[in-house]
Amino acid sequence: MLELPSTVTRSSDTLESLTICNRHARARIFLQGAHVLSFRPVGEGEVLWSSVRSQFSPGKPIRGGIPICFPWFGAGSSPAHPAHGFARTTSFECVRAEDSADGATHLRFRLVDSEATRALWPHPFAASVDITVGATLVIAFTIANTGDAPFSFEEALHTYFDVADARRVSVAGLEDAPFLDKVAGGATPTSAPGPIRFEAETDRVYNATTASTRIDDPDLVRSIVIEKEASNSTVVWNPWVAKAARMPDFGDDEWPGMVCVESANAGADRLTLQPGESHKLVLRVGVRR
Ligand code: BG6
């Protein structure tokens, strides 16, 4: 078993997780899905939202934090193919945990194809998730094609952010960018001026954008800054009243407390890797006052 630095504590409830507590921040990461559930920089409130109704049981998606969607985004192609892929419900192995001189903690999680993954998606791959818990949270998600044929895939770091009231926050950075409005059927791109505001169910896929975004939260008097590399899609989601009520693992009254701004390569931005090639998507999340 991997030796852990004193900043990392293992806990084995129904789902195994690691709690990181260093001089910059506190975070909790589940082995299932290499899933960051919580990130709280020192002196700040919680940055990631999670539902009090979330399940924490093997093979069930966790509602909140940062689920990793791979190798597809959205609905599966059959009932056997779970929404957002199998990565978020598959256990990763922690292969690295160490502190650096600046006090940040670095962890690496690995997943390779198995009989179970090949039954859903017939490709050999190696996935690694490198997470740095410092004043900023950094996640690098790397996929390598370890087989002898090309494959295509979609991916997302499906980040749920904690906000005081979704109706009062705005998301800057995607002004005038075209998006597919999934609430309206998502067929033809549309656009909207100004920062994004949440006034109804919102489910937008922005393609061909590498822009950084910022969630401005007047009530918490903070902005969350979201920077990304090698991610061409951004998905913005809030389920609002009716969809929240339909989701069993999402409290009916919880929707004002979150917005998702997801760093992805999805839809028109799906990726193809030749044998031996790899791709690394990087997300950086920080708080600004
Ligand atoms: C978002 C999608 O990324 O994830 C939404 O755009 C979807 O359409 C949401 O409802 C949550 O998905 P899930 O599978 O976690 O319920």
254 torsion bin: left (phi>0), alpha (psi -120 to 50), beta (else): alpha
pLDDT at 186 over 90: no
CATH number at residue 195: 2.70.98.10
Q: What confidence category does residue 212 fall into, taking pLDDT thresholds of 50, 70 and 90?
A: very high
Whether residue 200 contacts residue 255, with contact meaning beta carbons closer than 8 Å, is answered with no
List Cα–Cα distances, 46 to 87, 153, 162, 238, 253, in angstroms: 25, 32, 7, 18, 19
Cβ-defined contacts of 174-179 (< 8 Å, 24+)? 174/206, 174/209, 174/211, 174/213, 174/234, 174/236, 177/206, 177/209, 177/211, 178/206, 178/207, 178/208, 179/204, 179/205, 179/206, 179/207, 179/236
Whether 232 maps to a domain, the answer reads: yes
Whether 35 maps to a domain, the answer reads: yes
Round to whole Å and give the CA distance between 111 and 87: 8
Pocket-testing residue among 54, 203, 259, ligand 1, by greatest number of atoms within 8 A of Cβ: 203
203 Cβ below 6 A of ligand 1? yes
Whether 111 maps to a domain, the answer reads: yes
Round to whole Å and give the CA distance between 202 and 238: 5
Exposed, middle or buried: residue 116 (CB in 10 Å: 0-12, 13-18, 19+)?
exposed
pTM equals 0.98
Rounded mean pLDDT, 239-243: 98
Q: What confidence category does residue 1 fall into, taking pLDDT thresholds of 50, 70 and 90?
A: confident
Q: Is 44 a catalytic residue?
A: no
Whether residue 214 contacts residue 20, with contact meaning beta carbons closer than 8 Å, is answered with no
List Cα–Cα distances, 143 to 29, 110, 215, in angstroms: 20, 10, 28
Ligand 1 closest atom vs CA 73: 3
pLDDT at 67 over 80: yes
End-to-end CA distance of the chain: 40
- C-alpha of residue 73 to centroid of ligand 1, in Å: 9
| Given the residues 155, 158, 227, 254, the one annotated as active site | 158
Rounded mean pLDDT, 251-276: 98
Whether residue 97 contacts residue 31, with contact meaning beta carbons closer than 8 Å, is answered with no
The number of distinct structural domains making up the chain is 1
Whether 1 maps to a domain, the answer reads: no
What is the average pLDDT value for the chain, to the nearest integer?
Answer: 98
User: Tell me, what's the pLDDT at 243?
Assistant: 98
Whether 2 maps to a domain, the answer reads: no
Whether residue 159 contacts residue 282, with contact meaning beta carbons closer than 8 Å, is answered with no
> Among residues 281, 278, 277, 276, which one has the least CA distance to residue 266?
281
Whether 3 maps to a domain, the answer reads: no
Whether 273 maps to a domain, the answer reads: yes
User: Tell me, what's the pLDDT at 187?
Assistant: 87
Ligand 1 closest atom vs CA 67: 15
Q: What confidence category does residue 208 fall into, taking pLDDT thresholds of 50, 70 and 90?
A: very high
3-state SS assignment for residue 255: helix
- What tokens appear for 263 in the block? 């760093």
Ligand 1 closest atom vs CA 243: 10
- C-alpha of residue 74 to centroid of ligand 1, in Å: 6
- C-alpha of residue 216 to centroid of ligand 1, in Å: 22
Could you write out the DSSP letters of every residue in 56-75?
A: -STTS--SBSBPEE-S--SS
- C-alpha of residue 287 to centroid of ligand 1, in Å: 25
Query: Residues 153, 154, 155, 161: what is their CA dihedral angle, to the nearest 10 degrees?
Result: -170
pLDDT at 172 over 80: yes
User: Tell me, what's the pLDDT at 174?
Assistant: 98
User: Tell me, what's the pLDDT at 14?
Assistant: 93
> Which residue's CA lies nearest to atom 13 of ligand 1?
83
61 Cβ below 6 A of ligand 1? yes
Whether 131 maps to a domain, the answer reads: yes
Domain, as residue range, for 71: 8-288
162 Cβ below 6 A of ligand 1? no
Q: Is 158 a catalytic residue?
A: yes
E strands in 207-254: 213-217, 222-229, 233-238
pLDDT at 173 over 80: yes
Q: What confidence category does residue 45 fall into, taking pLDDT thresholds of 50, 70 and 90?
A: very high
